[in-house]
Amino acid sequence: MVSALSFLQKYLFHESGLASLWITGRDAWLIIFARCARMIAYGASSLILALFFNELQVSDSRIGLFLTLTLVGDVVLSLAISLVADRFGRRRTVCCGALLMILSGTTFALSENYWILLPAAVVGVLSATGGDTGPFRAIEESTIAELTVPETRSDVLTWYITTASLGSASGTVAAGRLIQWLQNKDGWTLLDAYHVCFGLYALMGFLALLATLSLSSKCELREPAVPKEGETGEAAEGLLHDQELSPVDDHHHVTEEPEHEPKPEPKTSKIAQISKETRSVMYALWFLLMVDSLADGMVSMSLTTYYIDEKYHLPKSQLGDVLSASYFLAACSTIFAGPLARHIGLVNTMVFTHVPSSLAVLLFPLPQNKFLTFALLLLRTGLNNMDQAPRAALIAAVVKPSERTAVMGITSTLRTLANVTGPSFTGLLAENGRFWIAFVVGGALRLAYDLGLFVMFINIQLYKHEPVKEAMPSAAAERVSLDAFELGSDVDDEDLEARLRRSTSSDDGSKYNEAVSSISGQKSQKPLM
């Protein structure tokens, strides 16, 4: 019974990706905590932002202008910062973003002047949609790619996205409960409750700032090391080469060349440069992702709920319960994206989890029964987010480490721009009584994205830019160490060494011996129970 429980615990620990998260270390935990805190704030702001301006009796046109300019500001800020973050410093850049988030939250907590709030939202960091459209995500995903190895990357990114989804949902629920509680207190107005929520927004920004300040230098971009001549065993050959190419006089004696002043190091641009090789891959992926984002914008969740309400005229409480269940299902299903990617590959995971979701969108107008409609909604939302972590891992696997932040920033910008154009098409269709066509077109576009992704990227070479010579064996050794000793498994030395031999390179005996020695040391230090 104990051994079965131990096996189950160990299996869940690894298959859920928690082992990979544990191995990656403290920096990854802090990044995930910072994003979770930020998404709690975003979830709260998405609920109350438009209601706050409505309570201030701001016109609908000005509210629309505010939301549009806020989104544009987030997109521009995200793109600009992602292009310079690696040169300026990732931790420093994210700290600046957290300070802007605190500034925005504090301004909204203290002011009710539209013309003061507008620049605070546009220049600062305030999510108008509840999504992470600011400058943080591209930098954080690039940093996680730097901290992980290919075997653990999708697992860590999965938890990065899962906790963000849970944080956003928690923020929305908490804001609603807090506003209701404050309204029931004597002397509290609805505006006062909104101001308190924005104060908590600033507090979440402060927590994210503290987490970012605690990150280590491992989060920064590591330039590829250039081996010295003496370290490669080619010093003698280099000296001989110098002798052969040195100038000689008439008596065939080698003459000394005059000493030259050291050449100044070439100036490097503060803006990230994306190589032609990377662009050739990303152009196709960017196009496909924009198609997918356009489709998502056409059938966004707000438009979907509006369509359901128009079709069935449901009580708002019932509609809210269904949406809450779908969001919870989406957060839970995301956990399985990492293990699935480990078993069937990144591209297969992206495609085979997205196709059923796309079919659910395509068939959404068909049922005339609300329960079948709810089933399609749950299928769509439950699988919709499972491609996010593999997508980030795929981008990290095909681009150079020095280009990841910029590429992810551009990807986020293009996806956002494509997404915000979708509702315009749906609005035109809805005005003419053709709302259902938006779901058919959206589902077809999503399926086209899935097919294009599978055809164009299924055989792409991954990890060719990875500095894996040292990282992968040590990570494998640590993972086997966790398998054998951390969870109480009874694994003998022969079985452990066989598993370690499969996890490390067969042509590198020194690394294998080093890993075995490391595990043996851990075993000898483990206290007896």
Asked whether the predicted pLDDT for residue 529 surpasses 70, the reply is: no
User: Quick one: DSSP state of residue 205?
Assistant: H
- Can you tell me which residue has the tokens 């009796």? 57
The token pair at 84 is 């310079």
Average pLDDT, the chain: 78
Instruction: Give me the amino acid identity at 15.
Output: E
**DSSP character string of 353-398:** HHHHHHHHHHTTTS--SHHHHHHHHHHHHHHHTTTHHHHHHHHHHH
Closest to 146 (Cα-Cα) out of 523, 513, 469, 471: 471
- The whole-angstrom separation of Cα 214 and Cα 97 is 15
Q: What is the pTM of this model?
A: 0.75
- Rounded (10°) CA dihedral 41, 44, 46, 50: -120
Stretch 238-261: mean pLDDT: 46
pLDDT digits (tens, 9 = 90+) for 35-84: 999 999 988 888 888 888 888 888 877 887 887 788 788 788 888 888 88
The predicted structure's pLDDT at residue 451: 96
DSSP-derived letter for residue 154 is H
Q: How confident is the model at residue 196 (pLDDT cuts 50, 70, 90)?
A: very high
Of 71-75, 94-98, 172-176, 227-231, give the range with the top mean pLDDT.
Answer: 94-98
Instruction: Give percent of the chain above pLDDT 70.
Output: 76
> For residue 225, what pLDDT band results from cuts at 50, 70 and 90?
low
**Is 491 a residue whose pLDDT tops 90?**
no
**Does position 379 have pLDDT exceeding 90, yes or no?**
yes
Say if residue 98's pLDDT is above 60: yes
* Length of the chain in terms of residues written: 529
What pLDDT, on the 0 to 100 scale, is given for residue 1?
53
| pLDDT(289) > 70 | yes
Residue 117 CB neighbours (<10 A): 23
> Is the pLDDT higher at 395 or at 516?
395
CB-based contact 45:71 (threshold 8 Å) = no
Distance CA 459, CA 364 (A): 33
Task: Report DSSP state, residue 217.
Answer: G
